[in-house]
Amino acid sequence: MYLTKKIKESIFKKHGGDVKNTGSTEGQIALFTHRINHLTDHLKQNRKDYNTERSLVKLVGKRRSLLDYLMKKDILKYRAIVKELGLRK
């Protein structure tokens, strides 16, 4: 499985501040980014997997919503997470 417990813990520890802080906006954005990258690699090999493509589009929308929320709440954290994850608008 691509997303093990250790990977999740490392993502939330790095971006959420604590392993148990799974609800933080930064941690959720980082987790979604990890999942989006995995699905993108999958779709490069399986071009006709339309269910995965739909899931990818939904995840990108969720991440965009969280990024918009973070931009309204704290622009410095938004800029930091975008720079750290290498995202672009």
What ranges do the domains of the chain cover? Answer: 23-85
Q: How far apart are the C-alpha atoms of 25 and 46, rounded to whole Å?
A: 31
**Cβ contact 31:37 at 8 Å:** no
Is residue 35 classed exposed, middle or buried when 0-12, 13-18 and 19+ CB atoms within 10 A define those classes?
A: middle
How many residues in total does the chain contain? 89
CATH tag, 23-85: 1.10.287.10
In this predicted model, what pLDDT tens digit does every residue of 56-89 receive, in sequence order? Answer: 999 999 999 999 999 999 999 999 999 999 998 7
- Rounded Cα–Cα distance for residues 40 and 51 (Å): 13
Residue 17 pLDDT: 85
* Interval 31-52 mean pLDDT: 96
Tokens of 87: 């995202």
